[in-house]
Structure 1
Amino acid sequence: MTVLADDTALAAALAETAGRLLLALRDSALLTGKALGDAGDRTANAFLMAAIATQRPDDGVLSEESVDDRSRLAKRRVWIIDPLDGTREYAEARADWAVHVALAIDGHAAVGAVALPAQGLVLRSDAPPPSVDRPARPRLLVSRSRPAPECARVAAALDAEVVPMGSAGAKAMAVLLGQGDIYLHSGGQYQWDNAAPVAVALGAGMVAERIDGSRCIYNAADTALPDLLICPPEYHERVRAAFG
């Protein structure tokens, strides 16, 4: 057994391997629809939970797909995972879904990796993608099924192009990759939805915060963390002004 001492390398390996498992399951064509999505959630979660228990047995874990072990609240280091972010997109054979693996240390999303398996990418908090030129008219990434009510107001204020996209991780990473410029969400999220995207975004020098401007706090007793803004620093003041 190989034990990875570096936390970010471990997060990336976990996310990448879970992504390969999910692709293999989908490519088998033995399941479709909701059955495929449910199997994907269970398969990726079982692998991640077992691997973290082996690689970091003293750390806590918070997963969307496991019963919350509240002993995590007494730990400084807690892995926060979403084994399959965008189950609907995954089951529909789309590419805009992700695997999230983050390590919160003292409530801060310190380490993270977001795999985009269908796109062949793993983005990690210690290796930001190259910077990109941003258009004069920003692109606002919103949920394709549940766009935040605030998005219409922000889009109008910025004269932004609204781009619907699937999972939270896919939208957040699209900002880093230059496929969009602003990710705004207020329709309800949990810590596992945004811990890894926030860690990776912060590592790339992006603004990643609550929409009221406060810091995202992780390993809280309440797993809800309902809203998020990710954007390059040059858009930050304009987005904040759009909220009035």
Structure 2
Amino acid sequence: MTDAELAAHFAEEAGRRLLALRDEARFEGKALGDEGDALANAYLCEALGRERPDDGLLSEESRDTKDRLAKSRVWIVDPVDGTREYGEARADWAVHVALAVDGVATLGAVALPDMGLVMRSDRPIAVPPAPATPRMVVSRTRPAPEALSVAQALGAELVPMGSAGAKAMAVVRGAADIYLHSGGQYEWDSCAPVAVALAHGLHCSRIDGTPLRYNQADVYMPDLLICRPDYADRVLALVGAKAG
């Protein structure tokens, strides 16, 4: 398999296993989320280590050894993006599998298991036309102040949603137009979504407009903008004006 095929296959299979675990009804809530994280992480780490043994690996659920910093190719995974949503049996959670090459989110896949979808960087789909009123996805529990301020300035409709991957893929699927996040994330939260979004021709950057860089010593990545290209300049200007 190619790298892109592996990413899609592993994300889909991890999602299938997570659905099966949830259907067993042996766990619920936080316990289900914890079990799901462990299950998916074990599968993804073993599978990637077997198929791409010379590459680096960064996973939310595994200890970071920093060995990856000497690698050009590093797989960055989030076994369950939106553990809370998964534990609550919601649909807005995801599985992320991405490959960063020399710090760039080069390819990836985001599985949305409850929707039966795997969004892939190697198989971009046509993004539907934008509606007259822009739609901005925000956290369903703690929407970022910057996002609320920009949404008000744009007259955008707010679309509350769970995980980062679900939000980003809502823009890719044409169910939303802007995803602006400023509440703190890590590399595994955005690497796969960014790889997929870039392959679909969307704008991806930090909220100051600078490029997103991965496989860094400090994996904290506090902010992110994924949106249709025609909104990028306006959103970045509004964020800059607020910061100033």
TM-score by length of 2: 0.97
Q: How many equivalent pairs are there?
A: 240
Deviation at 1:68, TM superposition (A): 0.2
Deviation at 1:105, TM superposition (A): 0.2
Aligned 1:216-231 pairs, distance under 5 A? 216-231=212-227
Q: Which residue of 2 aligns with 1:66?
A: 62
Q: Distance in 1 between matches of 2:151 and 2:30?
A: 33
Q: Which residue of 2 aligns with 1:109?
A: 105
Residue aligned with 1:112, SS: strand
Q: Distance in 1 between matches of 2:196 and 2:65?
A: 25
Q: Distance in 2 between matches of 1:9 and 1:131?
A: 21
Residue aligned with 1:205, SS: coil
The worse-fitting range, judged by mean Cα deviation, of 149-158 and 189-198 is: 149-158
> C-alpha deviations, 1:54-84, integer Å up to 9, x for none?
0000000000000002110000000000000
- How many percent of aligned residue pairs carry the same amino acid? 65
Q: Which residue of 1 aligns with 2:156?
A: 160
Matched-pair contact (CA < 8 Å) for 1:61–1:69: no
Matched-pair contact (CA < 8 Å) for 1:102–1:111: yes
Q: Distance in 2 between matches of 1:152 and 1:15?
A: 32
Q: Distance in 1 between matches of 2:65 and 2:74?
A: 11
1:206 counterpart letter in structure 2: L
Matched-pair contact (CA < 8 Å) for 1:138–1:181: yes
Matched-pair contact (CA < 8 Å) for 1:85–1:167: yes
Deviation at 1:156, TM superposition (A): 1.3
2:107 counterpart letter in structure 1: V
Q: Which residue of 1 aligns with 2:33?
A: 37
Q: Which residue of 2 aligns with 1:53?
A: 49
Task: Give the superposed CA RMSD.
Answer: 0.7
Matched-pair contact (CA < 8 Å) for 1:99–1:115: yes
Aligned 1:228-239 pairs, distance under 5 A? 228-239=224-235
Which of 127, 134, 145 is matched with 1:149 structurally?
A: 145
TM-score by length of 1: 0.97
Residue aligned with 2:138, SS: strand
Deviation at 1:164, TM superposition (A): 0.7
Deviation at 1:131, TM superposition (A): 2.1
Q: Which residue of 2 aligns with 1:133?
A: 129
Deviation at 1:11, TM superposition (A): 0.3
1:117 counterpart letter in structure 2: P
Deviation at 1:226, TM superposition (A): 1.1
Q: Which residue of 2 aligns with 1:180?
A: 176
Q: Distance in 2 between matches of 1:66 and 1:31?
A: 22
> Structure 1: where are the runs of 5+ without partners?
none
Q: Which residue of 2 aligns with 1:27?
A: 23
Matched-pair contact (CA < 8 Å) for 1:158–1:242: no
Q: Which residue of 1 aligns with 2:91?
A: 95
Matched-pair contact (CA < 8 Å) for 1:112–1:200: yes
* In the alignment, structure 1 residue 241 sits paired with structure 2 residue 207: no
Deviation at 1:199, TM superposition (A): 0.3
Residue aligned with 2:185, SS: coil
Q: Which residue of 2 aligns with 1:211?
A: 207
Q: Distance in 1 between matches of 2:53 and 2:173?
A: 34
1:43 counterpart letter in structure 2: L
